[in-house]
Amino acid sequence: MLPAVTGGPRITYGGWIGPPALIRRLQVKIVKTIVGVVMLLAGILWTLQGANIVGGSVMSGQSQWLYIGIVVGLAGLALLYWTHLRRRV
């Protein structure tokens, strides 16, 4: 008689076999990382354009983009922190 399988069905992901919940968490973490990095980079660019350090855009020298860039950059940092550095309880 075979032992009972626990943890649900196993699926293959890139040659690695693991429980679906683990694979799902990994996929969500990858997406959050990509979104956080894009937000951080956009925030940095918009901040520099708003401060008129980076020119060549309609946004250059517009102080509203300085503030928008700071908020978006901080939100990207918070998302990266929340995704990678927070302790699991």
Burial 17-45 (b: 16+ CB within 10 A, else e): eeeeeebeeeeeeeeeeeebeebbeebbb
Alpha carbon distance 88, 62 (integer Å)? 41
Alpha carbon distance 42, 19 (integer Å)? 35
Q: Is residue 17 part of a domain?
A: no
DSSP 8-class letter at 54: S
Into how many domains does the chain fold? 1
Evaluate if pTM is beyond 0.95. Answer: no
Q: Is residue 38 part of a domain?
A: yes
Q: Is residue 21 part of a domain?
A: no
pLDDT tens for 49-83 read 999 999 888 889 899 999 999 999 999 999 999 99
pLDDT tens for 17-50 read 567 777 888 889 999 999 999 999 999 999 999 9
Q: Is residue 10 part of a domain?
A: no
Alpha carbon distance 10, 31 (integer Å)? 22
